[in-house]
Structure 1
Amino acid sequence: MPQVVFSLDSTKKFTEQAIVGHNRWHGDIPAQVQVKPGDSFRVHCREWFDGAIHNDDSAEDVLNAPLPAVHVLSGPIAVEGAQPGDLLIVDILDVGPIPQEDSGPLAGQGWGYTGVFATKNGGGFLTEWFPDAYKVVWDFMGGIATSRHVPGVSYTGIVHPGLMGTAPSGALLAKWNAREQALIDTDPDRVPPLALPPLPDSAVLGSLTGADFDRVAAEAARTAPPRENGGNQDIKNFTKGTRVFYPVFVDGAKLSMGDLHFSQGDGEITFCGAIEMGGFMDLHVDLIKGGMETYGVSENAIFMPGNVDPLYSQWLAFSGTSVTLDGVQHYLDSHLSYQRACLHAIDYLQKFGYSAIQAYMILGSAPIEGRLSGVVDIPNSCSTVYLPTAIFDIDVRPSASGPAQVEQGMSVPTASF
């Protein structure tokens, strides 16, 4: 096992650890650890809500989740010699649930969860159809996830970090805040909001204190969206064996990571839509000096995905176009067409006895493939959702005998304001 450079004690809260991480992006958050190019090391990662979500049959914890406190990230980790303009090479050597802890109260200790936020708390990709809070708990055994809340499905995890990235420069941070505030100003009272501005409330900023803490807390960017530094990209193929090339914007690069997922479908469409957990990452780092200029990577990481995806050979694919349910035509709107494809898959799975929310949870957490199948044929874009048929205990393919029925048990926990 590589040396643990960022350790976490599962019995303590994120802010009570020997090394305290952070939950905002800012270049002035001090590095907690330093490594060298060529080093391999292990990082422990806390579940993104720091244990606020429980292994039970209630969705009240998702409804009342401490959203200003996320994501709790391990880092920053400084890489010796990294300078702005370099490319930071990060190899994911291994990633998994909390080591040697296969049972316990924290997600990652033998279990994880998928959630849908209420619309007031940010909703999800299909919040117009699922406006309340929902939660599904998944049990892990031998790399397979099953759930008492969604019967008749099981799938192999594609374990990956939902969030990893480097620290922004002051200029880049100012750009983020300006453009996101301009978007908010177009509809400041929208629910859910169009973006999340800096928020000092619940900010965790590593070792910063006093006036420095107050200044950074007022400026630091929230971790919810992906940006030029990587961040919360939720790419399910960031698995073991992945190599990522991150742009470096500050001295030391200041790499951070967290929000581990046991499994996820393309798009993480339920928002809290992967199977969330805490765990560990084994990483190797190196540098390409001046790599941003050399390879034309002025922003946004490039990566070589790992090759440990589960092998599914049969798929049932659903397509959608950029027309709303009430017949309004949009021009090449791939967001809308993917939404329609997902809704078609949900309609289909209900014919086999699943509730709509159970079907939605499957699409968020199972290793579905989402594709932009057509983006040029005006006025309709075409998006497709590929659902692996082998994850179901029953045969979900169309046949002359009609749809088999899944045997229902416990329903999905729901809560509303």
Structure 2
Amino acid sequence: MPDNVFPLDSTQPFTAQEITGHNRWHPDIPAAVHVKPGESFRLDCREWFDGAIKNDDSADDIRDAPMDIVHALSGPVAIEGAKPGDLLIVDILDVGPIPQEDGPLAGQGWGYTGIFAKKNGGSFLVDQFPDAYKAVWDFSGGTATSRHVPGVSFTGIVHPGLMGTAPSKDLLGKWNTREAALIATDPNREPPLALPPEPQGAILGSLSGEDFNQVASEGARTAPPRENGGNQDIKNLTKGTRVFYPVFVDGANFSVGDLHFSQGDGEITFCGGIEMGGFVDISVDLIKGGMDTYGVSENAIFQPGNSAPQYSEWLAFSGTSVTLDGEQRYLDSHLAYQRACLHAIDYLSKFGYSPEQAYLLLGAAPIEGRFSGVVDIPNACATVYLPTAMFDVDISPSSNGPTQINPGIGAPHSAF
């Protein structure tokens, strides 16, 4: 096992650890760890809400989830010799739940999926699902099952939802300026159009005093993906993946967190993967001047790993860029994917699942989402593929009609 350079104690909160991580992006957050190119190392990772979500049959914790504290990131890790303009090579050697622990913290043998309430960030289908729901998933080896979504089991596609490098001061300024301009177009929107810097809840490594206050007032929230990578939630960043990140500051200052036991394409419930704490084993290297050499001025490129679940049979649903009210939109792939997901939810509801159970399943299971047609005006076409082997019953259409499952206790629900 590689040396653990960022150990975490599961019994202690993120801010009480031997080494303190961070939950904002800023170039002035000091590196917590220093490594050399070619080194391999382990980083323990805290669940993104630092233990706020419980293994119970209530969704009140999802409804009241403290958005100002996310994400709990392990790092920054400074790589010796890294300079702006380089490409940072990150190899994911291994990734998994908290090893050999059972307990109350997500990652200790279990994880969770949440549909976020409209008043607390919402989800991809927020207009159809405005309230908070939760599903708890139990891990057995590489398989996930849930008392809240019975009748399914699937192999996890374990991955970090968030990895990235620190922004430069100029890049951070661009983020804050453009996102503030977007917020200004509809400042009272619910959910908001973007999340501005928020000092409340900021965790900034070893910073203190006036330095802390300055960075807390400027630091970018970690919720969206940006040019530095960040919260991309790409389910294929599994064991064996190699990622090439642009470097914007000396040392690169790489960070990682938001581990998922599994996830469907799009993480459509917002808290849509099976969230957990765990570990990541990583090796790093540098391509000097690689940003210019390969034209990677922003956003990472990657070579996916080869450890994804091997599903071979699928049932797929399609959608086009027409709203539920019948309004035609021009090549709106985002809308088309929403419609494809809604069609899958409607279909699964005929087998006895509640719409919320079906939605939670699409967020957690390794579904495939694709933009299938983006040129045939006026309708974009998107598709969503469900692996049929994860169901206990045959979900293919037949003359016998849908087999009814027992929905069990259902998905916990909390409304504002």
Q: TM-score, normalised by structure 1?
A: 0.99
1:75-224 paired onto structure 2 within 5 Å:
75-101=75-101, 103-224=102-223
Residue 62 of structure 1 aligns with an amino acid whose one-letter code is: I
1:7-406 paired onto structure 2 within 5 Å:
7-101=7-101, 103-406=102-405
d(CA) in 1 for partners of 2:141, 2:177:
47
Residue 6 of structure 2 aligns with an amino acid whose one-letter code is: F
Residue by residue, what CA displacement relative to the aligned partner does 1:145-201 show, whole Å, maximum 9, x if unpaired?
A: 000000100000000000000000000000000000000000000000000000000
Secondary structure at 1:286 match in 2: strand
Question: In angstroms, what is the RMSD of aligned CA positions?
Answer: 0.4
Secondary structure at 1:65 match in 2: coil
Residue by residue, what CA displacement relative to the aligned partner does 1:104-160 show, whole Å, maximum 9, x if unpaired?
A: 000000000000111010110001111111110000001100000001000000000
d(CA) in 1 for partners of 2:83, 2:228:
14
d(CA) in 2 for partners of 1:61, 1:403:
34
d(CA) in 1 for partners of 2:269, 2:411:
14
Number of equivalent positions? 416
Secondary structure at 1:214 match in 2: helix
d(CA) in 2 for partners of 1:231, 1:251:
18
Q: Which runs of 5+ in 2 are unaligned?
A: none
Secondary structure at 1:336 match in 2: helix
Query: Residue 66 of structure 1: CA displacement?
Result: 1.0
d(CA) in 1 for partners of 2:338, 2:65:
26
Residue by residue, what CA displacement relative to the aligned partner does 1:340-367 show, whole Å, maximum 9, x if unpaired?
A: 0000000000111110000001110000
Contact 2:240 2:307 in 1 (8 A): yes
d(CA) in 1 for partners of 2:123, 2:79:
36
Partner of 1:6 in structure 2? Answer: 6
d(CA) in 2 for partners of 1:32, 1:376:
47
d(CA) in 1 for partners of 2:384, 2:40:
37
1:399-414 paired onto structure 2 within 5 Å:
399-414=398-413
Query: Residue 272 of structure 1: CA displacement?
Result: 0.2
d(CA) in 1 for partners of 2:216, 2:235:
30
d(CA) in 2 for partners of 1:121, 1:230:
24
d(CA) in 2 for partners of 1:329, 1:8:
51
d(CA) in 1 for partners of 2:94, 2:171:
31
Residue by residue, what CA displacement relative to the aligned partner does 1:179-238 show, whole Å, maximum 9, x if unpaired?
A: 000000000000000000000000000000011000000000000000000000000000
d(CA) in 2 for partners of 1:281, 1:53:
21
Query: Residue 408 of structure 1: CA displacement?
Result: 2.3
Contact 2:179 2:194 in 1 (8 A): yes
d(CA) in 2 for partners of 1:87, 1:315:
37
Secondary structure at 1:215 match in 2: helix
Residue 192 of structure 1 aligns with an amino acid whose one-letter code is: P
Partner of 1:415 in structure 2? Answer: 414
Secondary structure at 1:88 match in 2: strand
Q: Which runs of 4+ in 1 moved over 4 A?
A: none
d(CA) in 2 for partners of 1:248, 1:291:
9
Contact 2:58 2:134 in 1 (8 A): yes
d(CA) in 2 for partners of 1:361, 1:58:
15
Residue 293 of structure 1 aligns with an amino acid whose one-letter code is: D
Secondary structure at 1:324 match in 2: coil
d(CA) in 2 for partners of 1:121, 1:134:
12
d(CA) in 2 for partners of 1:169, 1:308:
34
Q: Which runs of 5+ in 1 are unaligned?
A: none
d(CA) in 2 for partners of 1:183, 1:95:
36
Contact 2:91 2:283 in 1 (8 A): yes
Query: Residue 100 of structure 1: CA displacement?
Result: 1.8
Q: TM-score, normalised by structure 2?
A: 1.00
d(CA) in 2 for partners of 1:325, 1:105:
41
Secondary structure at 1:376 match in 2: coil
